[in-house]
Amino acid sequence: MTMRKSVVLAVVMSFVLGLCSALLAETTVNAKVDRTEISEGESVQFTIEIKGDASSLPALNLGQLPDWQVYSSGTSSNFSWINGRTEQSKQYNFILSPTRTGRLNIPAFRLTIDGKSYDTPQLSVMVNPVAMPQSRNVPPTSGRQRAQTSQQQQLSRDDLLLRCTVNRDTVYVNQQVTLSMKFYYRVRLLANPEPRIPQRTGFWAEDLGQWRSDQETLNGRDYNMAELRTALFPTAPGTQTIGSAEMNVVVDDGSSNDPFSFFNQGFPGYGGGRRLTLKSDPVKITTLPLPEAGKPGDFGGAVGQYQMTALVDKNKIEVNEPLTLHIKISGTGNIKSVGIPKVPDLPDFRTYQAGDDEKVEKVNYQVGGTKTFDQVFIPKRAGSYLLPSLRFSFFDPQARMYKTVTSEQIQVDVAPSKDRYASQVQNVQTNRIDLTAKDIRYLKTSLGELRSRRSAPISASPWFLIVMYMLPVLGYVAVLTRQRHKERLLSDVGFRRLRQARKLADSRLAKAKSLLDAADADSFYSEINRSLIDYFADRYNLPGFGLTADKIREYAVGKQSDVLVGQLLDLLQQCDFGRFAPGGSEKTQMTHLWESAKRLIVELEKTR
């Protein structure tokens, strides 16, 4: 595979992997209910779950929903932090209590996360009227009871009674009121009764166990009794009515003397027996609002009696090491409605709510339990810190006042991370940096030399560097060249004569000029002749002595132009004529000769 193909393949693979990763990392929002069909008076848990980065989400408020009363039951988070990568999911939990029967919708909600909108699906829940056959919950009449009642053939009005009572008729919002539904009977029942639980709109209901049976004397008469208790917590102040409870029963009215009637027992509608429907009176409850006077700022709606503890899983940690604070609230009251106490912002820690857990207990028909919240703290810096005490406020209906419980402050010692510390120790040893200092060093008091904000040092300029570094190199090359020149002048005679030919010729021409001015014709012509002959001899490294016109012509063939050689020979002839011809020479003639000689040397110099 060629290099080019490998690169293309790598790019394509990276793109595909990146696309898959991006899709996998997408934020998803979902909503669900724990049940899609409930009975009137029951509630559903509605959960909105966000997977992905939900750190920037504000608190979620559903507001008012038609057909539903909404109660927030807190949030829970899960996160993992591996190799610097955070994966989170967050759940917003709500308790929805229906205000009517039928198929009720939970509308879709639009959440905006990091500028993107997400819609939850619309859900529907079937709310049935309380007519669910619960005969299995009502304890069947025992054989002994049947024996007692089988003798009574005539039914009286008091033989069957259905009564609903509450343990108190005036309560505060979210204070427990216990509803007791009692079924009294003193006749033989041919089938298990079918109860119909009263409508409890406006209350948060919590079952307090199964039907229990007993015997009870009422108005001087002995009855078999079956009782079902329910804890109710009013959700709003005002007068609420608990509707009528109903009970469908089949009693023995004497028509079942058929010896084979036992075949029909337990099958209402077949054979004998009389079907009756009992109905209780509605019960009115007066719900008082919680007093405004003395309401603490951190009050979140809890009513009852509670205690709180806060413990950490460890007191000594390192920077970036998670620490879990377990906040535990326990007591009596509607524990499901208890929210997390406000955890103060700690600038030296990053905090995450890691989840919550609740355990509902029903002791002596009193609802209570424990709710635990886990808060994770991740220290940003080393040091010794005090996690401040937490406050939890509730309304105590017995004392009729608000109470606040607080947790203890917790000392946490955070050591620098070992990895980091190791690298810093390295720095300390190398650079003698005082990391044991408690604070940074003080300011500079002088502004110093102002520079342009974007000015770079001159050494960052490539041209500057090139020029500056070339200077010594060029200097060295110059010295080297000069040295070599000098060495050649010393060692190469021909080169030295060649290099000096012009200089010597000029020197002789200058001397000839002075002779011309002095009108010394013989010496002038000799000097001109000498300068020309010596120049040619130096130029071609020839011996100057005995260099005649013929030798010059012979030597110059192929090395010098015929014209210039001709001019040279002509000038030499003029010199000879001037020196040896009688009658002297005109100065103008001599000047012309001097100029011609000078011009010829210049021309010959050009042919080098």
Partner 1 sequence: MRRLLVLLLLALPSLVYAGANEDFQAGVRLYDQGDFAGSADKLQSVIDQGYASAPLYYNTACAYYKAGHLGKAIANFRRAEKMTPDDEDIRTNLAFVKQFCVDKVDASQTDPFLTQVKNLLATLHPNQYFLISFIACALLFVFLALKRTGVIARFGNSPVFVLAAITIISATAMMWVLRANYLVDEGVIVVEQTEILSGPGSDFELQFEGHEGLPFEVLDQKQDYYLGLFANKLKGWVKISAVEKI
Q: How far is the CB of 376 from partner 1 (least distance, A)?
A: 15
Query: CB–CB of 397/290 below 8 Å?
Result: no
> What's the min distance (Å) between Cβ of 448 and partner 1?
4
- Residue 237 CB, nearest approach to partner 1 (Å): 43
Q: Is the Cβ of residue 59 or residue 458 nearer to partner 1 in the bound state?
A: 458
In sequence order, what are the residues at sequence separation of 6 or more whose Cβ sits closer than 8 angstroms to the Cβ of residue 333?
Answer: 174, 175, 176, 302, 303, 304, 305, 306, 367, 368, 394
Residue number with CB closer to partner 1 (364 or 446): 446
Length of the chain: 608
Closer CB to partner 1, residue 433 or residue 602?
A: 433
CB-neighbour burial class of residue 348 (10 A; exposed 0-12, middle 13-18, buried 19+): middle
Nearer to partner 1, 448 or 546 (CB): 448
Q: In this complex, which beta carbon is closest to partner 1, that of residue 480 or of residue 510?
A: 480
The nearest distance, CB 83 to partner 1, in angstroms, is 7
**Helix 587-606 and helix 493-517, axial crossing angle in degrees, nearest 10:** 160
Nearer to partner 1, 263 or 476 (CB): 476
Q: Angle at Cα 141 formed by Cα 139 and Cα 142, nearest 5°?
A: 115
Give the nearest distance from C-beta 458 to partner 1 in angstroms.
Answer: 6
Least distance from C-beta 475 to partner 1, angstroms? 6
CB of 583 to partner 1, least distance (A): 59
Q: Which of 531, 479, 529 is nearest to 509 (CA)?
A: 531
* Nearer to partner 1 among residue 88 and residue 389 (C-beta): 88
Close Cβ partners of 250 (under 8 Å, ≥ 6 residues apart): 189, 190, 191, 268, 273, 274, 275, 276
Least distance between partner 1 and beta carbon 45 (Å)? 31
Residue type, 257: N
> Phi and psi (nearest 5°) for 2?
-75, 165
* Least distance CB 198 / partner 1 (angstroms): 53
Summarize as ranges the residues that interact with partner 1 (CB under 8 A): 18, 21-22, 24-25, 53, 83-86, 114-116, 320, 347, 380-382, 416-417, 419-420, 422-424, 426-427, 430-431, 433-435, 437, 439-453, 455-460, 465, 468-469, 471-473, 475-476, 479-480, 483
In terms of CB distance, is 246 or 321 closer to partner 1? 321
Nearest distance from C-beta of residue 374 to partner 1, angstroms: 21
Q: Which CB, 116 or 314, lies closer to partner 1?
A: 116
Joined tokens for residue 608: 């080098």
- Read off the amino acid at residue 329: I
Which one, 110 or 441, has the nearer CB to partner 1? 441
Burial of 20 (0-12, 13-18, 19+ CB in 10 A): exposed
- CA pair distance 221, 225, nearest whole angstrom: 12
Nearest to 513 by CA among 527, 497, 494, 498: 527
Q: Which residues neighbour 135 within 8 Å (Cβ) at sequence distance 6 or greater?
A: 191, 192, 193, 194
Cβ–Cβ under 8 Å, residues 40 and 203:
no
Nearer to partner 1, 59 or 471 (CB): 471
- Cα dihedral value 101, 337, 294, 325, nearest 10: -160
Distance set, CA 459 to CA 405, 448, 456, 470, 474 (Å): 68, 21, 8, 14, 20
CA 165 to chain centre: 56
Minimum CB separation from partner 1 for residue 117, in Å? 13
Choose among 371, 340, 338, 366: nearest CA to 353.
Answer: 340
